Chains A and B, each alone.
Chain A
Amino acid sequence: MNASYDVIVIGGGIIGTGVARALSRYKIDVGVLEKEPDVCWGTTKANSGIVHAGYDAKPGTAKASFSAPGNKKYGGWTENLSVPFKRLGSFVSTKDKSQLDKLENLLEQGEENGVEELEIITDRKRIEELEPNITEEVEVVLYAPTAGVVAPYKLTIALFENARENGVDFHFNAPVKGIQKGEDEAKFTIESGGGNFDGKYVINAAGIHSDEIAGMVGDDSFSIFPARGEYHLLDSEIEGYVRRINFPLPTQESKGILVTPAAEGSIIFGPNHQPLEEPSVATTKEGLEKVLGGAMKLFPDIDTGKIRTNFAGLRAKAGSDDFVIGESDAADNFVNVAGIQSPGLTAAPAISEHVVGLLEDLGLELIDDSDFDPRRNPIPKFAEMDIDEIAQYTDKYKAAKDIVCRCEEVTRAEIEEAIDRGATTLDGIKFRTRSRMGSCQGGFCTPRLIEILSDKLGVSPKEITKKGDNSYLLAEETKKGE
Chain B
Amino acid sequence: MMNSNIKSTKKDIVVVGGGPAGMAAGLRGAEEGAEVMIVERDIELGGILNQCIHNGFGVEIYGEELTGPEYAERFTSQISESSVDVMLNTFVLSMRPDKSMTLLTPNGLLEVEAEAVVLATGARERSRGEIRIPGSRPSGVMPAGTAQELINKKGFLPGKRVFVLGSGDIGLIISRRLTWEGAEVAGVAEIMDYPTGLNRNVVQCLHDYDIPLHLSHTVTDIYGSNRLEGVELSRVDDNMKPVEGTGQDIDVDLLLLSVGLVPENDFFKEAGVTLSERTSGPIVDEWFQTDVPGIFGCGNSVHIEDLVDWVTMDGFRAGDGAVAYAGNGNLQSAEKDVVPGENVNYVVPQKVSGEDDFRFALRVEEPMENADISIKGTDISFFEKIVTPGEMEVNEVEGEDLEELQGLDEIEVEVTRRF
Contacts and interface: CB of A to CB of B under 8 A. Distances in A.
A472 B227 contact: yes
Interface in A431-482: 439-444, 446-447, 450-451, 461-462, 465-480
B359 interface: no
B63 interface: no
B150 A233 contact: no
Contacts of A390: 93, 104, 109
A440 B151 CA distance: 19
A470 B156 contact: no
Given A446-B142, A447-B149, A469-B226, A401 B157 contact: no
B125 A475 contact: no
Interface stretch (A82-90, A180-188, A308-316): A308-316
Nearest to B162: A475
A406 interface: yes
Interface stretch (B29-37, B72-80, B128-136, B373-381): B128-136
Contact of B226 (A280, A426, A467, A478): A467
Interface string B100-117: 001011101100000000
A129 interface: no
Given A281-B136, A387-B3, A402-B89, A474 B150 contact: yes
B139 A472 contact: yes
B181 interface: yes
A402 to B, nearest CB: 7
Nearest to B149: A447
B407 interface: no
Contacts of B132: 288, 307, 310
Contact of A401 (B106, B124, B130, B145): B106
Contacts of A387: 1-3, 6, 102, 109
B139 A478 contact: no
Nearest to B183: A475
Contacts of A280: 136
B245 interface: no
B150 A447 contact: yes
Contacts of A403: 41, 91, 104
B157 A394 contact: no
Contacts of B6: 387, 391
A432 to B, nearest CB: 18
Interface residues of A, number: 55
A447 B154 contact: yes
Contacts of B127: 308-309, 439-443
A406 B17 CA distance: 13
Q: Interface size for chain B: under 10, 10 to 19, 20 to 34, or 35 or more residues? A: 35 or more
A478 B157 contact: yes
A401 B105 contact: yes
A276 interface: no
A368 to B, nearest CB: 43
Contacts of A284: 134-135
Given A403-B41, A475-B157, A391 B109 contact: yes
Contact of A465 (B139, B153, B156, B222): B139
B253 interface: yes
Given A281-B136, A440-B125, A401 B226 contact: no
Contact of A479 (B1, B2, B139, B182): B182
A253 interface: no
B183 to A, nearest CB: 8
B146 A447 contact: yes
Contacts of A196: none
A112 B302 CA distance: 59
Contacts of B182: 479
B406 to A, nearest CB: 39
A329 interface: no
A310 B129 contact: yes
A401 B125 CA distance: 25
Nearest to A446: B146
B159 interface: yes
Contacts of A443: 124-125, 127, 142-143, 145-146
A173 interface: no
A395 interface: yes
Given A387-B102, A395-B108, A478-B155, A283 B134 contact: yes
Contacts of A388: 1, 3
B125 A478 contact: no
A471 B227 contact: yes
B365 to A, nearest CB: 18
Contacts of A461: 154, 156
A477 B151 CA distance: 8
B128 A441 contact: yes
22 contacts: A280-B136, A281-B136, A282-B137, A283-B134, A307-B130, A309-B129, A311-B137, A390-B93, A391-B108, A394-B109, A426-B139, A439-B124, A441-B127, A443-B142, A443-B146, A466-B226, A470-B226, A471-B226, A473-B140, A476-B156, A478-B157, A479-B181
Interface of B: 1-3, 5-6, 41, 89, 91, 93, 102, 104-106, 108-109, 124-125, 127-130, 132, 134-140, 142-143, 145-146, 149-151, 153-160, 181-183, 220-223, 225-227, 242, 253-254
Interface of A: 233, 280-285, 287-288, 307-311, 386-388, 390-391, 394-395, 401-403, 406, 409, 426, 439-444, 446-447, 450-451, 461-462, 465-480
Given A282-B134, A284-B135, A391-B108, 18 more contacts: A287-B134, A288-B134, A307-B132, A308-B127, A391-B109, A401-B104, A403-B91, A441-B127, A443-B143, A443-B146, A447-B149, A447-B150, A462-B156, A466-B226, A469-B226, A471-B227, A475-B160, A476-B160
Q: Which 6 A-B pairs have the closest CB atoms?
A: A309-B129, A466-B139, A441-B127, A282-B136, A471-B226, A474-B156
